[in-house]
Amino acid sequence: MTHTDRSRRRFLRVAGAAGVAGLAGCAAEPVEDGPSDSAGGTSDDEVTTAGTTTGEPTAAMADTLVVATYPPFVDAPSTSPGAWLKEEFESAFDATLVYQTPDSELNYYIERAVQGVDFEADVYVGLDTGQLIDADGKRGEGQFTDPLFAEAGDAAGLDRVKEGLRFDPQNRVVPFDTGYVSLVWNATMDDGEFVAPETFEEAATAPYANDLIAQNPTTSSTGEAFMLHTVDAFGEDGFLDYWSRLQDNGVTVLGDWSSSYSAYLNEEAPMVVSYSTDQVFASAEGQDLDKHQIRFLNDQGYANPEGMARFAASDAPRLARRFMEFVLRPEIQAGIAQRNVAFPAITDAPLPDDYAQYAKEPAEAVTFTYDDLEANLSTWTDQWSRRFAGG
């Protein structure tokens, strides 16, 4: 399964291309994955304590909810939703929210489950379909027997989740936001004459030779989404031939989103595979929006929903459920979407007009189901790697 491009918001902030100027407060300390013990497992003391923002809860904490997530979710209060969500939740409930942010993200908890080592987290925030398949695959291989996640049941707010975003057939994962992978293009290049193609077919033609930067689908979630969109567009028997045409047309394929976006900002090419919320960053920093145009090829965008799920071994199942229902409240959905630079998972989140202006949604969202990806994703990425990456 692929690595994730979770560093996107951090990269934009540091690069100054379209991030938020300055940091409001200090970043949360990440949870260290720590060294392995002598038996090859993870040590019990590798999750550090850092007040009430990250780390393990102490015995003195009553009604504590431990939320595990990827580091950028709590990386900086000015660009990430974590600190704001913690404050809102603790204001609404008589409880303390503690974050855990291991660098290896969900894999940290999967490995502990495989090794039979307990962990303290109650909820995981930031699951995508590939990660869920990874977790289920480990269990299916007999490496651990108890379920990693519990069913969500009939949690309040589930009925407002947009059609097509619920990607877990076992009803464990509740979507909380989504993004759309698209092309971002620079209308100032070619002396202001450049216009992005409108279709996949057009993107592989001579007028767009050497104009596209994409990501390797075996190492980048953005690249994986773009590859999957080509599978949808050309079929599992035709997508590799399409990539051959892209290759012949001079597509540049880099290892991750950060390196490809950096190359795009340096005007090494007028188009990059990225996200349809790019103008949100650009407008916040007063950037030239002509350099941050959005194109949905075939009028479609590949949807990458993020979800949350309660760990089956949680010591606070009721509080975990209340947290998930809280995240689905319209005002919380709007707050997370703006700070995570994504779209809400529900239909009635009250987003401001300027956000709706700059965050672009496609006429049609494309995505594969859990069952489709479980059965085919490894095959498709292996085929791509053997043909185009020498894998």
Residue range 208-267, pLDDT digits in tens: 999 999 999 999 999 999 999 999 999 999 999 999 999 999 999 999 999 999 999 999
C-alpha distance from residue 254 to each of 82, 180, 304, 341, 366 (Å):
30, 20, 20, 23, 23
CB atoms within 10 A of CB 387: 14
Q: What is the largest CA-CA distance in the chain?
A: 66
Q: Among candidates 379, 75, 70, which has minimal Cα distance to 231?
A: 379
Say if residues 204 and 245 touch (Cβ distance below 8 Å): yes
Q: Quick one: average pLDDT of 340-359?
A: 93
Say if residues 13 and 19 touch (Cβ distance below 8 Å): yes
Q: Are strands 96-100 and 64-69 parallel, antiparallel or unpaired?
A: parallel
Higher local confidence (pLDDT), 165 or 15: 165
In terms of C-beta distances under 8 Å and separation of at least 24 residues, what long-range contacts does 56-61 make, across chains too? 56/98, 56/100, 56/120, 57/96, 57/98, 57/120, 61/96, 61/98
Most confident of 47-56, 79-88, 291-300: 291-300
pLDDT band at 143 (very low <50, low <70, confident <90, very high): confident
Reply yes or no on whether the pLDDT at 122 is more than 70. yes
Segment holding 99, helix H or strand E: strand 96-100
DSSP state of 386: H
d(CA 178, CA 185): 21
Say if residues 177 and 216 touch (Cβ distance below 8 Å): no
Q: Can you give the pTM of this predicted structure?
A: 0.83
Fold classification of 23-178+304-360 is D-Maltodextrin-Binding Protein; domain 2 (3.40.190)
Q: Which of 59-73, 158-172, 350-364 has the lowest mean pLDDT?
A: 59-73
Q: Among candidates 129, 161, 15, 131, which has minimal Cα distance to 79?
A: 15
CB atoms within 10 A of CB 101: 27
d(CA 45, CA 54): 14
Residues in CB range of 59: below 8 A, 6 or more apart? none
- The 3-state DSSP class for residue 329 equals coil
In the chain, where does the domain assigned CATH 3.40.190.10 lie? 23-178+304-360, 180-303+365-388
Residue 129 is predicted with a pLDDT of 94
Six token digits for residue 56: 């393990």
Reply yes or no on whether the pLDDT at 192 is more than 90. yes
Considering the domain 180-303+365-388 in this protein, what is its CATH number? 3.40.190.10
Say if residues 109 and 127 touch (Cβ distance below 8 Å): no
Calculate the average pLDDT of the chain.
86
Six token digits for residue 35: 């060294």
